[in-house]
Structure 1
């Protein structure tokens, strides 16, 4: 055990490999509401308030993600309030297809998929004072329908607020116990909620989750060289990055971040919160 991650841990950038860069960029701009920050013929970054949240690696020759491969379940874009979530809902209704809308008790969430088939959640948290916890300190979460009338009227022409970030990533694993051991015992997340044999939610501090892992779709193969998730960042203090560099076997330095692959071949990068 390397020690638990500190409460100020956050999720940083997420990088996806996509076939149709133009179409995916347009989706994240017009539907999700992110701003385009950098662009070339085969690369793009998008974000909010000038901060990069999403990197897109355009590769028209990359294979589609196989149905058996582990990887991304969804990337979760967190907006600061219900007004911003309502704006997202009307953008989706005007430009795209809504896959679902849920009240998770701790948050309200909209679900959709990008043109590359990557799952996307747009959500806002409820105040922590409204969260319930059991005697072990785990967060009570559920999946209830989110009624359209629960949100205020939205404006589809507003982009996301500058406080928007990546609240969490949710992964599909081939072995729930093995993935949980890596993220808890090796990395230092704590279990915030668990549904045995089904899904586990992992957090630093008192958040409901920074990483979700599930086996819902029966994935049986590790990540390969195909479209989908390339890596995601966990942002922590410099002292934690240094500790993880000493403790994680197989970790390597890439672009000023410490990179390691989880048991399914998903790359996680630990970056200093500068």
Structure 2
């Protein structure tokens, strides 16, 4: 039996989500959608790949595979990518773009954030959200964050829109939410092995984070997925660490587990539960802009 890391082997509080990557069948349509509706800028483009982001910072990689099948109904994978904006005004601008050019799928107040939901042309979920000040987040007696789902009044959000067509500086990928086949397996890997901390646990969902954030990763079994992630949809996502020492410590924990570790870009890659690849690197560069990707 593998040795489980001790409680002190968690991730540093500065840990964050970096880029996410999707396998797509129609690269031009998807790149245009994320530019015109979501508001990302195209930072680089080739026949095989499009890289989108904000102010030169890559956030989303679209990997073209015209033969990729549609994700199976039973397959695990992405529930949504969550783009976090720095203000309610930026959220209002995003709402205006979605209402003008696409269809809003939902809107919620989670007690820690205000969130808009939509689905891209190939069925991938998207959240665009802004956080409330951290000191206002509701917390349980043990200090973990309590999140809920309540109706969001869109009028105050619409009222502060400035008409910007792009996501502003400061936008990032706040979290990634996955559909998994087992919450226990998700917890074993991302909490016990990688080192995230549980923030909110529900009967069919689990939210984990570093540094007391409400969640960097979410997982749910709401749709009873039972197979691995295959075909279109999530290709990989990235966890960014603050320094080389943190990456080295993480590599040691991963090496003691059942998942093979391989080198990629300036970090490491692991195929985790449900066949979903997660990459880890130090937050000093953006290797996706190298010539090998464009």
Deviations 1:180-228 (A, max 9, x none): 11100000000011113x101000011100000110110000123x111
User: How far, CA to CA, are the matches of 2:107 and 2:238 in structure 1?
Assistant: 26
In structure 2, how many angstroms separate the alpha carbons of the residues matched to 1:88 and 1:158? 8
Q: Within 5 Å, give how 1:43-192 maps onto structure 2.
A: 43-151=49-157, 152-192=159-199
Report the Cα distance in structure 1 between the residues aligned to 2:273 and 2:35, rounded to whole angstroms: 33
**8 Å CA contact 1:90, 1:155 repeated in 2:** no
Give the aligned CA root-mean-square deviation in angstroms: 1.1
1:229 aligns with 2:234: yes
Structure 1 residues not aligned, in runs of 5+: none
- Alignment check: 8 A CA contact 1:192 1:208 kept: yes
Q: How many residues align?
A: 272
Which residue of 268, 271, 289 maps to 1:258?
268
CA gap 1:156/1:27 in 2 versus in 1, 3 angstroms: farther
Structure 1 residue aligned with 2:282: 272
Q: Which runs of 5+ in 2 are unaligned?
A: 285-294
Partners of 1:200 and 1:135 in 2: CA distance: 18
Q: Contact 1:76 / 1:123 at 8 angstroms: preserved in 2? A: yes
Q: Is the 8 A contact 1:190 1:202 kept in 2?
A: yes
CA–CA separation in structure 2 for the residues paired with 1:5 and 1:267: 18
Q: Aligned residue for 2:291?
A: none
User: Deviating runs (4+, > 6 A) in structure 1?
Assistant: none
Q: 1:158: Cα distance to partner?
A: 2.7
Give how far 1:157 is off: 4.1
Contact 2:36/2:165 (<8 A) preserved: no
Residue 247 of structure 1, CA deviation: 2.1
Distance (Å, rounded) in 1 between the aligned partners of 2:72 and 2:193 = 28
In the alignment, the residues of structure 1 paired with residue 127 and residue 119 of structure 2 have an alpha-carbon distance, to the nearest angstrom, of 8
Per-residue CA deviations over 1:55-90 (Å, capped at 9, x if unaligned) read 000111111111111010000000000000000000
SS of the equivalent of 2:79 reads: strand
Distance 2:75 2:156 in 1: 36
TM-score scaled by structure 1?
A: 0.97
C-alpha separation between the residues in 2 aligned to 1:247 and 1:148?
A: 44
